[in-house]
Amino acid sequence: MTKLSVNINKIATLRNARGGNQPDLIKASIDCERFGAEGITVHPRPDERHVRYNDVFDLKPVVTTEFNIEGYPSEAFIKLVTQIKPAQVTLVPDPPEALTSNAGWDTVRNQSFLREVIAEFQRNGIRTSIFIETDLIMIEHARSTGTNRVELYTEAYAQQYSGGREKAIHPFVTAAKLVGELGLGLNAGHDLSLENLKYFKQQIPGLLEVSIGHALICDALYFGLENTIQLYLRQLKE
């Protein structure tokens, strides 16, 4: 069974556009779970342009499903995560000024750094996942970091889907098989949507979790949040 973790960053972005507390991020998180989401994902950035560090502390006592915190492992981020102790931390390599995550880890060049950071999280009882592309060499070296899971960066699949889904999915199937052979857990995320999610789930072996934010929140403007979450769950379960 593949879990759906809803990334609520875009809800925070809307709130921050006007100040105040509309929409209410905490209520939205509770509602996402009530409507069927099996996890809540946040990505607090240093400039706090969407989810803020204090939001993460406010969310901790109310998230009853799997809490997943994404981010670049800066000193401040490591301190935040070890204080919160979420179910999972997902490490991304993007710098603070990046608009969104746009690349996977170079697990060769960053091997010692990742090993040290991951060990710190695991000492605190936090499952670790690292954002990675379909490069088989990078996946091979991911195991040496000590991570529990990897999250496949799916932007390339989403971009190529309309031009031929069989070709678009091929490197992800190959990567997923290697992840399984290495004994790592498999997550995925970035630009997955109602258009391309079902086929991805059908083709990718061992997919444990998808994290979806932008497309899901956009769809909720048209279909409503409850209905949208149910639509995404249906793609994963059919």
> Which residues participate in catalysis according to the annotation?
43, 70, 190
Q: Give the separation between CA 214 and CA 21, rounded to whole angstroms.
A: 20
Rounded to 5 degrees, φ, ψ at 142 are: -60, -35
Q: Is the dihedral of CA 124, 126, 132, 137 positive or negative?
A: positive
CA distances from 78 to 44, 75, 99, 126, 187 (A): 12, 5, 21, 11, 21
**What are φ and ψ of residue 104, in 5° steps?**
-95, 170
Distance CA 10, CA 77 (A): 20
Name the residue type at position 83: Q
